Amino acid sequence: MARIKPLPQDHSPELKEAFAAYDKSLGFVPNSMLILQRKPRIVKAMAQLTGDFRVSPLYSEAERVALDFAIAAASQPNGVTEEMFADMRKHWSETQIVEIAAVVVWHVDDTAKAAFDVDDYEMFVKVQSEAAVRHLASSFAYDEDETAGDRREPTLLGSADIVAKALERELQARLDQAGVVVEEARLTHLAYAPEIAQVMLRRQQAEAIISARQKIVHGAVSMVEMALSELSAKEVVTLDDDRKASMVSNLMIVLCAESEVQPVINTGTLYG
């Protein structure tokens, strides 16, 4: 039961279109909006946000695609399709499609701004916080393997302090208008979206195998080079190019093979 009695839906004729938008998107007009008729500007703003986002000028194409994806992912059964993934990839890489949540600690420092410069400072903080988190997610790579070259850029996963400071700065800039001071802001949850988690896990496993192989090959080449140099420097044996090639081939097989190598004793000569 509502603690504040909702006003009749026809109480404010100027809100007719706003209530029609709610009825179209939700199938009903929430009691919270009937109560908020006392502040019509809030009702109109919320109706614009919850209206048909597919045609609303308030949303970018990327945001429309993300909302379509979110609605399908939350449906039972899961309604995400390959076409939706294809649309998502037009705007974001797979590693940018993540679940992210943050906690913000704040207080009102200028009560005049909070009361008169915005309609509802608590709602203003919520909306601006969500916008700041979305912008943060698009500003940083998820992990280091997404950065190019030798220069390492801050990432969401590996640079918690830098990311937290960036979030705090952006929030403060957004909330100054409402007289709000941000005391602390940090990420509390960061993970790949469930729909792509398995794909990304396979990718990480493949990258780990490739990285390990590169180290093995690099080490094997160094050992073969050292063996040839030592044999030549100490004059243990004199090898022509063919014998060197044969020795390099055998050593690389022994050093790089995944399974144990069985030795073969050659009783003849290389040119047999």
Highest mean pLDDT among 16-20, 113-117, 193-197: 113-117
- As given in the structure block, the two tokens for residue 165 are 């400071």
CA dist list (Å): 44 to 63, 117, 130, 158, 216: 20, 17, 20, 41, 64
Residue 245, pLDDT > 60, answer: yes
Q: In this predicted structure, what is the pLDDT of residue 104?
A: 92
Residue 76, pLDDT > 80, answer: no
Residue 129, pLDDT > 80, answer: yes
Q: In this predicted structure, what is the pLDDT of residue 94?
A: 57
Give the residue-averaged pLDDT of 93-101.
70
Give the residue-averaged pLDDT of 146-171.
79
- pTM over 0.75? The answer is no
CATH architecture of the domain 96-192 equals: 2-Layer Sandwich (3.30)
Q: Residue ranges per domain, the chain?
A: 96-192, 194-272
Q: In this predicted structure, what is the pLDDT of residue 146?
A: 45
Average pLDDT in the chain? 77
Residue 180, pLDDT > 80, answer: yes
Residue 189, pLDDT > 80, answer: yes
Q: In this predicted structure, what is the pLDDT of residue 169?
A: 94
Q: In this predicted structure, what is the pLDDT of residue 168?
A: 94
Residue 198, pLDDT > 80, answer: no
Q: In this predicted structure, what is the pLDDT of residue 78?
A: 63
